[in-house]
């Protein structure tokens, strides 16, 4: 038995229902490529292989690599499974001929890398078509803006794809159990089409500045970028609007007008 390493944020998933829900959310077509981050004990890996996926599993914990190699010897020999000892945050999709939209990313990731993990693959040149990941329930709710209030995180994700909470996974479904519940989060239709015709860099610069002081009015946060009140007026928006009240579409409109001005 291999014990979970706290330093690696390991919480091994044991719920068969949760594993099944994750695989179903991935809408796997037999023969397509799935990138799995941190296979751990291999329970999700096994389900992905049974679904017919061609799996590339990236495992950082060198203690687990020989165990996974033994457990999935047949899958490795048939090339259905490629097992790599590496840090997923350093992984280069192009090194394995993964082109944009040619693979899906399905994983139970450590909580502490959630932000960096999502950012890495959504912003990557070689983006996945779909991501299905287990994250903290609170983080998932912020991403989909369940309370109707947007954030830098929710806008950043929605600019690249369509996020949806598939279901909640209780802390007791993991060994050791984390201190909070998790959620299965899917992000589908991932692409950079949203940025056609304007600057990705300028968009995020505007959004980050707009949320600099969350409780302040947008016009105050963006005053350094130009006559923001005039921009809001031209868009038919209230001059007293707060950053959390703007939709993704409205953030795009504000950014484009500021670029022109």
The pLDDT of residue 197 is 83
Strand partners, 187: 131, 163
| Closest residue by Cα to residue 85 from 60, 106, 109, 110 | 60
Domain 6-192 has what CATH class?
alpha beta
Q: Could you tell me the pTM of the whole model?
A: 0.91
pLDDT tens sequence across 197-246:
888 999 999 999 999 886 788 988 888 877 788 888 888 988 889 999 99
Distance CA 127, CA 117 (A): 12
Domain 197-260 has what CATH class?
mainly alpha
Distance CA 231, CA 235 (A): 6
Structure token pair of residue 146? 């369940």
Place of tokens 């963006």: 222
User: CATH 1.10.8.100 in the chain, residues?
Assistant: 197-260
User: CATH 3.40.50.150 in the chain, residues?
Assistant: 6-192
For the beta sheet containing 182-188, the strands, ordered from the edge strand earlier in sequence to the opposite edge, are 81-85, 54-59, 33-37, 103-108, 130-136, 182-188, 162-169
pLDDT tens sequence across 66-85:
999 999 999 999 999 999 99
Highest mean pLDDT among 26-30, 173-177, 232-236: 26-30
The pLDDT of residue 148 is 87
């Amino acid at each position: 038995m291999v014990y979970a390493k706290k330093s690696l944020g390991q919480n091994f998933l044991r719920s068969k229902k949760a594993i099944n829900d994750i695989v179903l959310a991935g809408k796997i077509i037999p023969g397509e490529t799935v990138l799995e981050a941190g296979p751990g004990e291999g329970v999700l890996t096994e389900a992905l292989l049974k679904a017919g996926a061609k799996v590339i599993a990236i495992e950082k914990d060198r203690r687990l690599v020989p165990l996974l190699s033994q457990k999935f010897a047949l899958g490795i020999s048939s090339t259905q499974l490629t097992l790599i000892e590496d840090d997923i945050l350093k992984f280069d999709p192009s090194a394995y001929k993964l082109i944009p939209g040619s693979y899906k990313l399905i994983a139970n990731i450590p909580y502490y890398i959630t932000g960096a993990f999502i950012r890495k693959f959504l912003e990557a040149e070689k983006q996945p078509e779909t991501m299905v990941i287990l994250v903290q329930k609170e983080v998932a709710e912020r991403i989909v803006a369940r309370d109707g209030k947007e954030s830098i995180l929710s806008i950043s994700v929605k600019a690249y794809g369509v996020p949806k909470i598939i279901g909640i996974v209780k802390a007791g479904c993991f060994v050791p159990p984390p201190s909070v519940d998790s959620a299965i989060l899917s992000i589908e239709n991932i692409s950079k089409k949203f940025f056609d015709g304007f600057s990705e860099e300028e968009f995020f610069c505007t959004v980050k500045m707009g949320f600099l002081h969350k409780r302040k009015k947008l016009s105050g946060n963006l005053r350094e970028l130009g006559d923001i009140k005039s921009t809001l007026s031209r868009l038919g928006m209230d001059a007293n609007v707060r950053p959390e009240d703007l939709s993704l579409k409205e953030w795009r409109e504000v950014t484009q007008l500021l670029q022109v001005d």
